[in-house]
Amino acid sequence: MNVTIDREAFVRILGRVQGVVDKRHALAMLTNVLIEADDGVLRVVATDLEVSLQQTSQAKITKSGRAATSARTLFEIVRESPTDEITLKSLDNQWIEVVYGKSRFKLMGVDPQDHPGMPQIATNGAKAGSVEIGAGDLAEMVRKTVFAVSIDDTRSNLSGVFLTKGSKKGSLRMVATDGYRLSLIDRAMKTEIPELEKGILLPKKGLAELSRLLEEEGEQVWIKLKNNNLIIKKENVVLIMRLLDAEFPDYNQVIPSQTKRHIRIKRGHLLESLKRVSILSSEKTKGVKFHFGENLLELSSYNPDFGEAKEELSVEYMGEELTVGFNYRFVLEVLNILNSEEIIMEFEDGVSPAVIRPANDEKHTCVVMPMRI
């Protein structure tokens, strides 16, 4: 193999794979990146067997071939290059030479035949049977749900984000919950996948890599299901994540079907006030009390070792007085992912789940479980 590629493009490619390669995996081979060069195209593949990433770029190929070497080391060498182009050459015994300017590096490689490469799934050609969605919409869906995924490894059915059809035709839905808070969001999509009727569970690591990919330029993303894998294609990048083998709970039972009390609040005011009052909350429970009165919200916290805090906020509310306790962290996390100037908080009573919605987006719903204080 003898190939020359634009340095900026290669740095971007190698930077993307760093989150995929598993430095602690029992299989040392998975710390390596697979490089293939033919027909004027350089392909770079990384995988940990759960998440796989393939990227392509135009390159000057003098000699076709395949190679595999340390993903981290190659990235660090290429990143420090002061030149516009990088040349890769295959040497004897699987070694790889990296050349730029007056610098030459020789890296130990491994047999590319031993690298698992991408799962054997068709990822190109016609996009029939796939969902087309705006990259910005998909990025927003991931960001507004992944925070609620459970970090408890023993609860496998809550350790990912549930992807299914939305409530209306032509919409896609993501839902995540850890049992203490829930976030649900619908966004429009073009075409549909029948298999999404029952829904699928996406791993958190795969979604983290998807988020990084969606941050980059490109307006559309195609999503396809095949062989218990979700395939995402965006321009010259293909991301494949293996679905979690667990059944997501019936999240509709968590969302109150009706609520008696509706309060409109300035999101920024509540966010900053809650940060201040939480300073004196109990370190163990992290509880903050919400007391609603006529056009008034009083936040209060108490810590037997340090003292107490109270702060009042103006809100739009004309119902009966209501007192509810929350773990302030869960409310803060919800407020941080909402992007509306005002929010709506809905309650049935002081012990039922609280609904928090952005005032300007009926397709996004969060639920936070109350606590006794």
Per-residue pLDDT tens over the stretch 220-260: 899 999 889 999 999 999 999 999 999 999 999 999 988 99
Asked if 360 contacts 316 with a C-beta cutoff of 8 angstroms, the reply is no
Q: Higher confidence at residue 186 or residue 169?
A: 186
373 domain-assigned: no
Q: State the first-to-last Cα distance of the chain, in angstroms, to the nearest integer.
A: 67
Same domain, 227 and 299: no
67 and 99 share a domain? Answer: yes
| Pair (88, 143) in one structural domain | no
Lowest mean pLDDT among 10-24, 29-43, 87-101, 322-336: 10-24
Asked, for residue 190, whether it belongs to a domain, the answer is yes
Residue 123 has pLDDT above 80, yes or no: no
User: Which CATH number covers residue 188?
Assistant: 3.10.150.10
pLDDT value, residue 153: 83
Residue 129 pLDDT level (bands cut at 50, 70, 90): low
pLDDT at residue number 125: 47
Residue 59 pLDDT > 70, yes or no? yes
Express each pLDDT in 82-101 by its tens digit: 999 999 999 999 999 999 99
327 plus 288 within the same structural domain: yes
Asked if the structure places residue 310 within a domain, the reply is yes
Identify the pLDDT of residue 126. 41
Same domain, 150 and 166: yes
In a domain? residue 88: yes
Residues 92, 37 share a domain:
yes
Residue-level pLDDT at 227: 84
Confidence of residue 131 (pLDDT cuts 50, 70, 90): confident
Whether residue 266 is contained in a domain is answered as yes
Parent domain of 21: 2-114
Both 160 and 82 in a single domain? Answer: no
Is 69 found in the same domain as 170? no
pLDDT tens digits for range 177-231: 999 999 999 999 887 777 788 899 999 999 999 999 998 877 889 999 988 999 9
Q: Is the pLDDT of residue 127 over 50?
A: no
The mean per-residue pLDDT over the stretch 284-306 comes to 95
In a domain, 123, yes or no: no
Number of domains in the chain: 3
pLDDT at residue 28 tops 90: no
